[in-house]
Amino acid sequence: MTARAAWLLLLCLGFAPVLACQDAEDIAEQAEDETDDLFSESDTNRDGKLTVRELKVSLARAMETNTDDVNVVVAGGQLITWLVAADTNDDGMTTRAEYLALRKKQLADAAWRPPLTEKGIQTLRREVYEPVYRMVLGMADTNGDGKLSRREYLDAVGNAEAFDAADADKDGFCTKEEMDADWLRELGKLFVLPQEKGKAKEKGKEEQEEKAEDKGKADPAGSEEKPGIPPKPPVAEEKPEAPPKPPVAEEKPEPAKPATDSVYNRAGRAWTTRHTSKAGSIENVSFRKVEVLAVTGDEATVRVQVLNKDRQPLAAQPAREFNRPLKPDTEPEDGATRLADETLKAAGREFVCQVVEYRRAGQTTKVWTSLKFPGLVVKQVTTGTGMTTTQELEEFTE
């Protein structure tokens, strides 16, 4: 990896050096340095303009992968977002001057929110949000129903706060519509969105009308007063006091029983799965390593690490540690078809598996789950909508 490529990845990860004294001169110098390195590394045709495609190509080269690898988007999402926000005329190309102006304002005022156009939002949806959404859905949606239960989300992502924020109706599931709305809310924390601009204009108009109305009330000259009968003051209706309700005995929930049938119930257990997504001639391969670090009561502390196709940790996706409940997971969810049990060979051993099939939204998902180790997916295949995704157990350590 070249020095410039390394700098590019540092920019993506938000580790660009911050100068000790952030006066106007230092801010200008830092912004110039960042912009020069970004354009010298990514502006391959040297036209002084940078497209999202050019940036993704340089990121893929720095990460030693290809532009179809979703991890390119994960690593460069922030930089891609800035590039789109800086494209003030929406022509799909960000000039050096546009990007430099954006970075100067960001460095000068950490609370400043750049404006984002509707076209910019659609570009970010296509280039950043949708690929990451498909990746999360492919990792977490174990039953293929097109939505994520809280358990599925925590198993794959491990961020309870993010799930709870997205689950708007609090039914324990995140639909695509809810995740789309949550993405827009998060985007609105960083940028001024078009609908916010419209609300600001409308609010300004209402304030002007209110001021005009107040002025008319304060200066009623020329207005004809009409006598009127003052309304009678309302008489408070006396209501009889309701008799006090008898106290209700508080129901105490029964303590949860510790789960014994779970792949997560033993510290030191670890497994690695291979994830393959294929659309036409394009194939993306990654790995996911899960380790049970500790088991306390009804919870297990789990560590999850995403690896690239060469089984190397991704710098942009550090390992996550989180707690997950130990719950027996032997019954398929609603809408599943239970098929005959099968024995699969994986990770150098045989697993007797419960087989479940789901058919929803033009997709068919077939899942093989170990009967001896509930919660351990030995194999999963989803087909339909022009893409095939496969998850296969490659390593398992008891």
Residues 234 and 218: their CA atoms lie apart, in Å, by 27
pLDDT at 158: 73
pLDDT at 83: 94
Q: Please, what is the Cα angle at 307 between 280 and 264, to 5 degrees?
A: 110
CA 155 to chain centre: 15
Question: With bands split at pLDDT 50, 70 and 90, how would you rate the model's confidence at 10?
Answer: very low
Q: 97 vs 286, which has greater pLDDT?
A: 97
Tens digits of per-residue pLDDT, 277-308?
Answer: 776 656 778 888 999 999 998 888 988 888 88
Question: With bands split at pLDDT 50, 70 and 90, how would you rate the model's confidence at 107?
Answer: confident
DSSP character at residue 86: H
Taken as a whole, the chain contains a residue count of 398
Question: With bands split at pLDDT 50, 70 and 90, how would you rate the model's confidence at 255?
Answer: very low
Neighbours of 368 (CB within 10 A): 25
Tens digits of per-residue pLDDT, 24-69?
Answer: 777 888 888 889 888 988 898 899 999 999 998 888 887 777 887 8
Question: With bands split at pLDDT 50, 70 and 90, how would you rate the model's confidence at 233?
Answer: low
**Order of strands across the sheet with 377-384?**
320-325, 299-307, 282-296, 270-279, 387-397, 377-384, 363-370, 349-360, 337-346
Flag whether pLDDT at 249 surpasses 60: no
pLDDT at 230: 57
CA 76 to chain centre: 14
Q: 16 vs 397, which has greater pLDDT?
A: 397
| Residue 285 near residue 301 (C-beta atoms within 8 A) | no
Question: With bands split at pLDDT 50, 70 and 90, how would you rate the model's confidence at 204?
Answer: low
Tens digits of per-residue pLDDT, 310-362?
Answer: 888 866 567 778 788 787 555 555 567 899 999 999 999 999 999 999 776 55
| Least confident range of 24-28, 36-40, 114-118, 197-201 | 197-201
Q: 307 vs 218, which has greater pLDDT?
A: 307
Q: 303 vs 206, which has greater pLDDT?
A: 303
Percent above pLDDT 70 for the chain? 72
Residues 19 and 395: their CA atoms lie apart, in Å, by 46
| Token digits of residue 193 | 């969105």
pLDDT at 44: 85
**For 3-114, which CATH class?**
mainly alpha
Residue 215 one-letter amino acid:
K
Mean pLDDT of 212-216: 62
Question: With bands split at pLDDT 50, 70 and 90, how would you rate the model's confidence at 215?
Answer: low
| Token digits of residue 313 | 């940790």
Tokens 């404006």 sit on residue:
115
SS3 sequence, 126-156?
HHHHHHHHHHHHHHHCCCCCCCEEHHHHHHH
Residues 375 and 271: their CA atoms lie apart, in Å, by 12
Mean pLDDT of 240-252: 56
| Least confident range of 123-137, 201-215, 349-363 | 201-215
* Domain locations along the chain: 3-114, 270-397
Please name the helix (run of DSSP H) or strand (run of DSSP E) that holds residue 322, with its range, or none.
Answer: strand 320-325
Mean pLDDT of 135-150: 84
Q: Tell the CATH topology of 270-397.
A: YmcC-like fold (2.40.360)
Residue 198 one-letter amino acid:
G
Question: With bands split at pLDDT 50, 70 and 90, how would you rate the model's confidence at 137?
Answer: confident
pLDDT at 1: 39
Mean pLDDT of 15-22: 40
| Least confident range of 155-159, 259-263, 365-369 | 259-263
Percent above pLDDT 90 for the chain? 30
As separate numbers, helices (DSSP H) first and strands (DSSP E) second, the chain gives 11, 13
Flag whether pLDDT at 235 surpasses 70: no
| Token digits of residue 349 | 């051993």
